[in-house]
Structure 1
Amino acid sequence: MKRNLVGAALIGAALIVGGTGIASAAPAGCTASGAVCLYRDDDYRGGQVTLSGTTTGITHLSSYGFNDQADSYYNNSTKDAAWYTDANYAGRRVCMHSTSGNHSFSFQDSDEASSTRKLSSASSC
């Protein structure tokens, strides 16, 4: 009986972790190691802007026709990244933790990103 309770607790813990919004695998278009991707629509769809492994930031998403357009992200990097509500990394900062994703921004965050960049470490946020 005790073993069954431990197994049930582990399954319950896995379900809780699975519900945090952390993506389990990089979505199509963001599979390159070190990439950070912002997507136009929920569920990593609708076109994207990508910070490749060598690109560290975009000061004006408007230069890519992507200002105030993002609704999901995936960070396929071992470092944190962030997007900002204003150009030049100004305004409110929203963290994108390393090797994680958010398939659907909150109402407050939807269509608010104006600049984005990679941060210096996995503990920068």
Structure 2
Amino acid sequence: MRKKLTFGLFAAAMIVGGVGTATAAPAGCESGWVCLYRDDDYRGGQVSLTNSTTAISHLSSRGFNDNADSYYSNYTYDSAWWTDANYVGRRVCMHNNTSNRSFSFQDSDEASSTKKYTSRTAC
């Protein structure tokens, strides 16, 4: 009975989601990248900060403005997204090697710009 209860509590915690330490990267989110996804659970198309693209000042230029609902950071430093273009508005940090499989109601479909930092303490 104790095993079932422990597993049940773990499963419930996983369903609730939230920001956590990143596990295996979703397909298409390479090492060193930070990926924003259109839908929960890293689905629905993505826009990525890669090794050569370290910032996107207007997510609308990628057809992705106000569309993000999850992220995966496969990057060793912090990164962030903002509610407005040009890194203005409310900043939401994405710490190194973390993920969020389902944004909160407040954050859902709000990202308008994003960039990678070169520090683990930028956020």
Alignment of 1:81 onto 2:83: no
Count of aligned positions: 111
Contact 2:34-2:75 at 8 Å conserved across structures = yes
Q: Please, which moves more after superposition, 37-46 or 51-60? A: 51-60
Query: Which amino acid in structure 2 is aligned with residue 29 of structure 1?
Result: G
Normalising by structure 1, what TM-score?
0.82
| Structure number with larger C-alpha Rg | 1
Other-structure match for 1:36: 34
Structure 2 counterparts to residues 22-101 of structure 1, below 5 A? 22-30=21-29, 32-101=30-99
Unpaired runs of at least 5, structure 1: 1-10
Distance 1:81 1:57 in 2: 9
Contact 2:22-2:74 at 8 Å conserved across structures = no
Fraction of identical pairs, as percent: 69
CA deviations over 1:19-47 (Å, ceiling 9, x no partner): 553331111110x2110100000000000
CA deviations over 1:71-95 (Å, ceiling 9, x no partner): 0000101010000000000000000
Contact 2:85-2:113 at 8 Å conserved across structures = yes
Alignment of 1:21 onto 2:15: no
CA deviations over 1:34-76 (Å, ceiling 9, x no partner): 1010000000000000111121100000001100000000010
Unpaired runs of at least 5, structure 2: 1-5
Query: Which amino acid in structure 1 is aligned with residue 121 of structure 2?
Result: S
Distance 1:86 1:42 in 2: 21
Equivalent position SS for 1:43? helix
Runs ≥4 residues deviating over 4 A: none
